């Protein structure tokens, strides 16, 4: 029980550091730590497949993509001009209002049941694979089309247009 | 190993919802607060991950594997979104020499 609260505290701490770090590289490294705490949460929920996918896809692929992009556009100088204090206060108030509304609505629900793992092999690859390739076969194939079109779009957008630049 | 998973059984579902809403709100604040387009993108990733954690908690709570399959699809979608979005950011940097979103105000008003 205390593991959950410790990891939850760590993920909130690192998430605050992500949006408050001045240097974007530090932001990305804190984001890696945040995602690692999420992986621990998945393991605690015995969602082993999601834990591995989160570890490999998010921390391994997506964040490395972020780091490479940051390297390509060479932002290592701390030159980001911050917004004015009024906009900062308004932003924190806006996010805080969203949080207060959600938590307030949750309080009206009263005490909830504890999360109990009824089926221990719920999140294992065998069980999820059966669901994925039976009920969700069409969305699975459509997502492959989505990834293909995203790849083509990314290559098309990021390559230099020779006619306009020269 | 069994006693390790026993630890979760005493955590109420409300605490998972509160944790996810806190992380989601931090993501919203990050989008509103920062001017660097890449950090805004990372805040969006933070919001997507908060939703993923909540879907997984609900899936375990109800004993329904569909929620975890949804999380898998959200991760595939996030990968596609990041690839296209970062390509757009690289293109913007090439044209304006900065990733400050306040430069891109031609659609304002």
**pLDDT tens track for A43-89:** 988 888 999 999 998 888 888 888 888 888 866 555 556 667 888 88
Which structure tokens are listed for A14? 């690192």
Q: Which of A19, A62, A147 sits opposite B30 (nearest CB)?
A: A19
| pLDDT at residue A35 greater than cutoff 90 | yes
Q: Domain tally for chain B?
A: 1
pLDDT at A166: 44
| pLDDT at residue B98 greater than cutoff 90 | no
> B6 in a domain, yes or no?
yes
Within 10 angstroms of residue B59's Cβ, the number of other Cβ atoms is: 22
- Nearest-Cα distance to chain B for A29, in Å, is 11
Beta carbons of B43 and A109 less than 8 angstroms apart: no
Predicted ipTM > 0.85: yes
The closest alpha carbon to B57, from A41, A125, A157, A152, belongs to: A41
Gyration radius of chain A over CA positions: 21
> B27 in a domain, yes or no?
yes
With CA atoms as reference, the chain B residue closest to A132 would be: B69
- Contact (CB<8Å) B9/A116: yes
> B108 in a domain, yes or no?
no
**pLDDT tens track for B30-76:** 999 888 888 899 999 999 999 999 999 999 888 888 999 999 999 99
State which residues form the domain around B48.
2-103
Label residue B12 left, alpha or beta by phi (over 0 means left) and psi (-120 to 50 means alpha): beta
Q: What b/e string do you get for A32-66 counting C-beta neighbours within 10 Å, with b at 16 or more?
A: bbbbbbbbbbbbbbbbbbbbebbbebbbeebbebb
Angle between the N-to-C axes of helices B66-96 and A125-134, in degrees from 0 to 180, rounded to the nearest 10: 80
Q: For residue B30, how far is the Cα from the chain centroid?
A: 11
Give the whole-number percent of chain A exceeding pLDDT 70. 90
Q: Which helix or strand (DSSP H or E) is residue A33 part of?
A: helix A24-44
The CATH number of the domain holding residue B80 is 1.10.287.3510
Beta carbons of B85 and B91 less than 8 angstroms apart: no
- The residue of A5, A7, A8 whose CB has the most chain B CBs within 10 angstroms, and thus the best one to mutate to test that interface, is A8
> B39 in a domain, yes or no?
yes
pLDDT at A63: 87
| pLDDT at residue A103 greater than cutoff 60 | yes
CA end-to-end distance (rounded Å), chain B: 59
Quick check: B30 contacting A, CB < 8 Å?
Answer: yes
- Contact (CB<8Å) B90/A96: no
pLDDT at A160: 75
> B109 in a domain, yes or no?
no
- Least confident window among A97-111, A115-129, B68-82: A115-129
């Amino acid at each position: 029980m205390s593991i959950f609260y410790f990891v939850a505290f760590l993920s909130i701490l690192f998430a605050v550091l992500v949006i408050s770090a001045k240097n974007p590289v530090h932001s990305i490294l804190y984001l890696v730590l945040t995602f690692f705490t999420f992986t621990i949460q998945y393991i605690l929920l015995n969602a082993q497949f999601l834990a591995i996918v989160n570890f490999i896809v998010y921390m391994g692929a997506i964040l490395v993509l972020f780091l490479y992009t940051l390297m390509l556009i060479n932002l290592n100088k701390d030159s980001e001009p911050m917004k004015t204090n009024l906009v900062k206060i308004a932003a924190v108030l806006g996010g805080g209002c969203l949080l207060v509304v959600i938590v307030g609505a949750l309080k009206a629900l009263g005490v909830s049941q504890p999360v109990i793992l009824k089926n221990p092999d719920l999140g294992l690859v065998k069980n999820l694979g059966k669901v994925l390739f039976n009920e969700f076969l069409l969305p699975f194939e459509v997502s492959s089309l989505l990834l293909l079109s995203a790849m083509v779009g990314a290559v098309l957008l990021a390559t230099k247009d020779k006619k306009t630049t020269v | 190993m069994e006693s390790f998973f026993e630890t979760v059984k005493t955590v109420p579902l409300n605490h998972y919802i509160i944790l996810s809403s806190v992380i989601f709100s931090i993501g919203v604040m990050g989008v509103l607060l920062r001017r660097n387009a890449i950090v805004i993108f990372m805040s969006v990733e933070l919001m997507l991950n908060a939703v993923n954690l909540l879907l997984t908690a609900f899936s375990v709570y109800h004993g329904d594997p569909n929620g975890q399959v949804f999380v898998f699809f959200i991760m595939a979608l996030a990968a596609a979104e990041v690839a296209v979005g970062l390509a757009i950011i690289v293109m913007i940097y090439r044209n304006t020499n900065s990733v400050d979103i306040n430069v891109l105000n031609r659609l304002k008003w």
